[in-house]
Homo-oligomer: A and B are copies of this chain.
Amino acid sequence: MENKRKHSRKRDAILDCMRNTTCHPTAEWVYQQLKPIYPDLSLGTVYRNLAMFKETGTIQSIGVVGGLERYDAQVKPHAHFICTCCGKVEDLPMAAPAPALLEDAGRLAEATVTGYQLQFTGLCSGCNKKSEPKN
């Protein structure tokens, strides 16, 4: 008693869209991608489905960048780099903090730690180029 109904053409398209990009999209971005294909798609539907996928752990949110929530279909642990200039988000295939770290954190916080996020911030190569030349 748990698989009521989980598919609809649009819902599937939204998940596909998420899984076929590495840009850590916003709801609006997903909407813009699919709008040409599903002209009657509604932004509300995108929000609703992303929220639902997040809820079920199918995707994750990597936080709010510049006022926009960014989602990621890659839910295995990995770090992110976020450009503070243009907002670009990239995956960093770095070693994950050892499980021991989670335990340490849990002990320190006297809490049950279930996840973590490691993100680096700075200027991406593109923004670097734009800002460095003293033209």
Contacts and interface: CB of A to CB of B under 8 A. Distances in A.
Interface of A: 63-64, 79, 81, 83-84, 90, 92-94, 97, 101-102, 104-106, 108-125, 128
**Stoichiometry, copies per complex:** 2
The 10 closest A-B pairs by CB, nearest first: A81-B109, A113-B122, A64-B64, A105-B120, A114-B122, A116-B120, A110-B125, A111-B124, A112-B123, A113-B120
A83 B90 CA distance: 26
A75 B117 CA distance: 18
A90 B116 CA distance: 14
Contact of A117 (B102, B111, B119): B119
A115 B111 contact: no
B109 A115 contact: no
A51 to B, nearest CB: 13
Contacts of A124: 109-111
A83 B106 CA distance: 11
A113 to B, nearest CB: 4
Contact of A120 (B102, B110, B119, B122): B102
